Amino acid sequence: MHTRRSVRRPAPALAALLLAAALALTGCSAGDDASGGSNSAADHGADDKAVSGEAAPGGTGSSSGAKATAPPKLAASHIIRTASLTVQVKDVPKALEQARTGTENAGGYIGNETTTRDAEGHERTRVVLRVPVEKYDEVLAELEGTGKLLDRSAKAEDVTDQVVDVESRITTQRASVARIRELMDRATKLSDVVTLEGELSTRQADLESLLARQKSLKDRTSLATITLSLSETPVKKAAKDDDPGFVDALAGGWNAFVTMLRWLAVAFGAVLPFAAVAALIVLLWLRVVRPRLPRRPAPAPAASALGPLPTARPAPESAQPPAPGERD
């Protein structure tokens, strides 16, 4: 009995020792798993930041991180640039030739050109220049230096949305035209062919309109428009004496007299039609209407209360002087 008890007593102690060892191993593995899990989470977080373009704090950064932090490329923009310049120069033809040379050297060309001359002989030229957008600022600065800048205005209009919209609509319209042509190839009835031909012509017209708009936008965005106005420097005149003299008074009186005659002529011209109509009416009245009117009878002699008034008696013949033939 004593021997059997000595054999059974070490069993609980061994079991306790194995349990403690198992717990220790379990704790170590749990610690390793926790640390590994945190490291993997940190790695995932770093990867997410690298993908989104953010650098991990405290990290030195790698080549992939450098690529992730690089700024994204901007989409190509389409901008219409226009400018208007008014420059005063001493010699307009020379300044115009200089502007033409600078524009052609920049790869542009001359558009519309208008030259006028005022009453004093001063020449003025207005020319439209089309230059590449890359040379826009350079040409503009060169034109400003040709003389005295009097006025400048510049405008930039972003039409990127319009360009993208037109390109998308062109792609869709081309696909639509292709589908109509496929249906025409498969059509067997004449009515279907006629209907499809009408639809095809309509869609092709829409496609051509879109292509023309695309071409116009491309031209306006690739070439800037500069409107240049050149005017000669006015000649300075000698200052005149402010005190009027006899000649000035005579000139002023003559101008007043001529002005008065002009106004009288204007008034006469305005009244003349009415006077002509009035004269015609009076003439018709005197020559046509009045002779046809019935004449009024002569009035009877007036009678007084004592009777009719005596009438005048004719003079006796003896009282009359003899005729020249009867004197003899």
pLDDT computed for residue 29 by the predictor: 44
Q: Residue 129's closest CA among 241, 223, 41?
A: 223
pLDDT computed for residue 241 by the predictor: 53
Is the separation of the CB atoms in 205 and 60 below 8 Å?
A: no
CA distance linking residue 273 with residue 276, whole number of Å: 5
C-alpha R_g of the chain: 57
CA distance linking residue 50 with residue 44, whole number of Å: 10
Please report the DSSP string for 257-287 in residue order. HHHHHHHHHHHHHHHHHHHHHHHHHHHHIII
Listed in sequence order, the residues at least 6 apart from 59 whose beta carbon sits closer than 8 Å to its beta carbon are 46, 65
Q: What values do phi and psi take at 81, rounded to 5?
A: -110, 130
* Coil, strand or helix at 105: helix
pLDDT computed for residue 82 by the predictor: 93
* Coil, strand or helix at 128: strand
Q: Which residue bears the tokens 């046809």?
A: 292
Listed in sequence order, the residues at least 6 apart from 46 whose beta carbon sits closer than 8 Å to its beta carbon are 56, 59
Listed in sequence order, the residues at least 6 apart from 82 whose beta carbon sits closer than 8 Å to its beta carbon are 154, 155, 157, 224, 225, 226, 227
- What does each of the 328 residues of the chain score in pLDDT, given as a tens digit? 344 444 444 444 444 444 455 444 444 444 444 444 444 434 444 344 333 444 434 444 444 444 445 444 445 678 999 999 999 998 888 999 999 999 999 999 998 888 888 777 788 899 999 999 999 999 999 998 888 888 999 999 999 999 999 999 999 999 999 999 999 888 888 888 899 999 999 999 999 999 999 999 999 999 999 999 998 865 454 455 556 677 778 888 888 888 999 899 998 888 889 988 998 998 888 888 877 777 766 665 555 555 555 555 555 555 455 555 555 4
* Coil, strand or helix at 153: strand
270 backbone φψ class: left, alpha, beta (φ>0; ψ -120 to 50): alpha
E strands, 193-269, are 223-232
CA distance linking residue 244 with residue 300, whole number of Å: 78
**pTM, whole model, 2 decimals?**
0.46
